[in-house]
Amino acid sequence: MKVAYLGPHGTFSEEAAHRYFKDQNVEWHMCDSVPEVLEAVGDGLADWGIAPIENAIEGTINMTVDSLLVNDLYIRGEVILPVSLHLLGTEGTQEEDIQEVWSIPPALAQCREYIRSLKVKTRHFDSTASAAAAIREAGRSDVAAVASAYAGDLFGLVKVRQNIEESYENQTRFVVVTKDKKAPSDAKKTMLQVIPSDEYTGVLSSILNVFSALNVNLTWIESRPTKKKLGAYQFFLEAGFGIQDPLIEKAVAVLQTYGHEVNILGSFTATKLD
């Protein structure tokens, strides 16, 4: 079995992939971007792919949503990974000696108050993992990286200060995708794409009312342009029932009766990693 994920070594995506598929015989396929991960599955270069779709602080990762559609993939699993950020340095690095902190801009933003307290400069990298790798390569004690404990262990760095993020509830949600559109029998969630029949006042409200009337809880709602004309939107909804539940079938039938196009993007169960 071949699994595609976002590199380089030491990313949160790699950690999520290795932990989710830890008990299986896997050949890893590392990619340079999220679209490449999903393209690898769509093109048959990998059997499965895992990609981030939402972060508790940064919100929805739109390139993942868009690439799901382009590659006609099916969500068969969900992984929720706690995101803890640490200040990592080489052996012997002291907090008071640090002059510059390296990382990806979103990670630096999540630790803004702590970095401000250090009164140091920052340097941007394309991932937390590449920043950690650069610290190891530099071998300096006056610089440090903001990255995960996983990256620290991989690159042999020590925690100069741990848990420096401002929100201790930060999590990233990943979707596990494949070309096989067979839902697991224990699925607890279903993701749908709804393309309205027309643009009119209250169209989203009318769609949501269908689920409310059936007492179906929606755990995630996202709007994306249809890319056909300005002001035309499609909606992505995550319902709190598996596709095998009659309520989902009924909701789809009602929406289609109203003329809306409905596509099932996946049905799955969430796996929460500690």
The CATH number linked to 194 is: 3.30.70.260
Element (H, E) at 262: strand 261-268
In a domain, 149, yes or no: yes
Check whether residue 97 and residue 229 sit in a common domain: no
Coil vs helix vs strand at 108:
helix
Check whether residue 156 and residue 220 sit in a common domain: no
Asked whether the beta carbons of 265 and 68 are under 8 A apart, the reply is: yes
Check whether residue 129 and residue 198 sit in a common domain: no
Check whether residue 210 and residue 249 sit in a common domain: yes
Position 21 scores a pLDDT of 95
Task: Enter the pTM of the model.
Answer: 0.86
* d(C-alpha 233, C-alpha 24), whole Å: 40
Q: Residue 263's closest CA among 74, 58, 53, 105?
A: 74
Percent of the chain with pLDDT over 90: 81
Per-residue burial over 57-90, b if 16 or more Cβ lie within 10 Å, else e, is eeebbeebbbbbbebebbbbbbbebebebbbbbb
CB proximity list for 6: less than 8 A, separation 6 or greater: 13, 14, 30, 31, 32, 33, 34, 37, 51, 52
Position 166 scores a pLDDT of 86
In a domain, 68, yes or no: yes
Position 231 scores a pLDDT of 76
In a domain, 183, yes or no: no
In a domain, 153, yes or no: yes
Per-residue confidence at 29, pLDDT binned at 50, 70, 90? very high
Supply the CATH number for residue 18's domain. 3.40.190.10
Check whether residue 174 and residue 76 sit in a common domain: yes
* d(C-alpha 68, C-alpha 102), whole Å: 32
What is the tens place of the pLDDT at every residue in 218-271? 999 999 988 888 878 899 999 999 999 999 999 999 999 999 999 999 999 999
* d(C-alpha 31, C-alpha 177), whole Å: 15
Check whether residue 51 and residue 174 sit in a common domain: yes
In a domain, 43, yes or no: yes
On the question of pLDDT at 63 being above 80, the answer is yes
What is the tens place of the pLDDT at every residue in 180-203? 999 998 999 999 999 998 877 888
Check whether residue 174 and residue 51 sit in a common domain: yes
Parent domain of 67: 2-83+170-178
Position 168 scores a pLDDT of 77
Position 230 scores a pLDDT of 83
Position 253 scores a pLDDT of 96
What is the tens place of the pLDDT at every residue in 93-133? 999 999 999 999 889 988 999 999 999 999 999 889 999 99
Check whether residue 79 and residue 174 sit in a common domain: yes
Please count the structural domains in the chain.
3
Q: What is the mean pLDDT of the chain?
A: 93
Of the three residues 145, 178, 211, the one that is the final residue of a domain is 178
Check whether residue 75 and residue 145 sit in a common domain: no
Position 23 scores a pLDDT of 84
Position 39 scores a pLDDT of 96
In a domain, 26, yes or no: yes
Per-residue burial over 146-171, b if 16 or more Cβ lie within 10 Å, else e, is bbbbbbbebbebeebbeebbeeeebb
Check whether residue 133 and residue 61 sit in a common domain: no
210-221: average pLDDT: 95
In a domain, 199, yes or no: yes
Cα distance between the two ends of the chain = 25
In a domain, 184, yes or no: no
Check whether residue 229 and residue 98 sit in a common domain: no
Asked whether the beta carbons of 145 and 135 are under 8 A apart, the reply is: yes
Measured between alpha carbons, how far is residue 181 from residues 18, 67, 140 in Å?
23, 16, 50
